[in-house]
Amino acid sequence: MKTGCIYLIPNTLGEENFKRVLPPDVITIVESLDYFIVENEKTARAFIKRLLPQKQQSEIQMEILDKHTDPLDLPLFLRPVEKGLNVGIISEAGVPCVADPGAEIVSIAHRKGLQVKPLVGPSSILLALMASGFNGQQFTFRGYLPFDAGSRKRVFQAMNKDLKDGITQIFMETPYRNNKLVEELLKVLHPETKLCIACDITLENEYIQTKTIADWARNLPDLHKRPTIFLLD
């Protein structure tokens, strides 16, 4: 029996015009699918409706993959694919499976020998790196920084070590803690360390600036509740 394909469907990074950031092929593939694996059903359905207002929502089946999903249920999500049905994995923002739970499904798919097809779309991580002016050949993406003070200190120590080797550091924070993080960076980093703040990428109020820590200390932007990628060099 011929098996189906798992399409990794990129989402927009906000409420911008999706035609600016998503190729037509992505829309065509979403139109062809009726089975999706998503993190949040409400926002995923709203995303599909934006792309394809005419698509019948009642015909769409969704499985939820979030922090509450039982890992034992994940192989069951791929049963339809093993029977020949195509499925789309949709991220909450940007590309799936990067700082996103969809990676767990893809890992299982590879073990089962199923086809996985990534689609082109906006990645805030790569777009920020592109615009930073930092080393794009050697970089470490550290995801969300730990909240625990001890773990956080160890991460900063590891980043400082990598910076001495010329390895760009990329990380994020929960948006409502952005301003507090920047204040922390000003205290723990060397004044000549370069920090890129890439905020609201691809949106109308996009803000991307690279400065030294000493320069940032003179004039800080308000990043409260704004999706932001931080990079160090």
Q: What is the CATH number of domain 5-118?
A: 3.40.1010.10
The model's confidence at residue 17, banded by pLDDT at 50, 70 and 90, is confident
Euclidean distance between CA atoms 206 and 228, whole angstroms: 10
Residue among 21, 60, 24, 39 at smallest CA distance from 201: 21
* Residue 87, φ and ψ in degrees, nearest 5: -135, 150
Percent of the chain residues topping a pLDDT of 70: 100
Euclidean distance between CA atoms 129 and 142, whole angstroms: 13
Token duo for residue 35: 């089975």
* pLDDT for residue 149 is more than 90: no
* pLDDT for residue 16 is more than 90: no
* Residue 167, φ and ψ in degrees, nearest 5: -95, 115
Please report how the helices 41-51 and 24-32 are oriented relative to each other, as an axis angle in degrees rounded to 10: 120
Rounded to the nearest 10°, the torsion over CA 67, 158, 196, 15 is -10
pLDDT value, residue 204? 93
* Residue 6, φ and ψ in degrees, nearest 5: -105, 110
62, β-bridge pairs = 36
Euclidean distance between CA atoms 84 and 103, whole angstroms: 21
Residue ranges of the domains in the chain?
5-118, 124-232
Q: What is the CATH number of domain 124-232?
A: 3.30.950.10
* pLDDT for residue 15 is more than 90: no
Buried b / exposed e along 122-131 (16+ C-beta atoms within 10 A): bbbbbbbbeb
Token duo for residue 44: 């995923």
The model's confidence at residue 97, banded by pLDDT at 50, 70 and 90, is very high
Tokens 């470490």 identify what position?
140
**Sequential DSSP letters for 116-155:** EEE-----HHHHHHHHHTS-SSSEEEEEEPPSSHHHHHHH
* pLDDT for residue 231 is more than 90: yes
Mean of pLDDT over the chain? 95
**181-194 tens-digit pLDDT:** 999 999 999 999 99
